[in-house]
Amino acid sequence: MIRFAPFNLMNPKYEFQHKFHVIFCRNVLIYFDEPTTKRVIDNLVSCLAPGGYLILGHSESGNVKHPGLKPMSRAVYQKL
């Protein structure tokens, strides 16, 4: 089941009813400074189910260093 809805990544906390199996956040983080990018990634990881995937754009994938994520390929990360 897929649900599309607008959402503001700048919200201080992400509150969803369920954890996500896949989150696509492509070519958005390149517009944020480093502290904001880190906060957004922390929040996205908290919304992922264990084993879920975070998919970023190729140009922003080099900046991701999160202890809860395992790199699977250049822009694909899996939650531990």
Query: Each residue of 15-63: pLDDT tens digit?
Result: 888 999 999 999 999 999 999 999 999 999 999 999 999 999 988 877 6
Rg of the chain's alpha carbons, rounded to an integer?
Answer: 12
- Domain presence at residue 71: yes
pLDDT band at residue 65 under the 50/70/90 scheme: confident
- CA separation, residue 39 to residues 2, 10, 56, 61, 80 (Å): 25, 9, 15, 15, 18
If one counts the domains in the chain, the total is: 1
- CA separation, residue 37 to residues 2, 18, 34, 47 (Å): 25, 23, 5, 15
- Domain presence at residue 73: yes
CB-CB neighbours of 72 under 10 Å: 12
- Domain presence at residue 33: yes
Domain residue limits at 38 = 20-79
Task: Tell me the pTM.
Answer: 0.89
**Overall size of the chain counted in residues:** 80
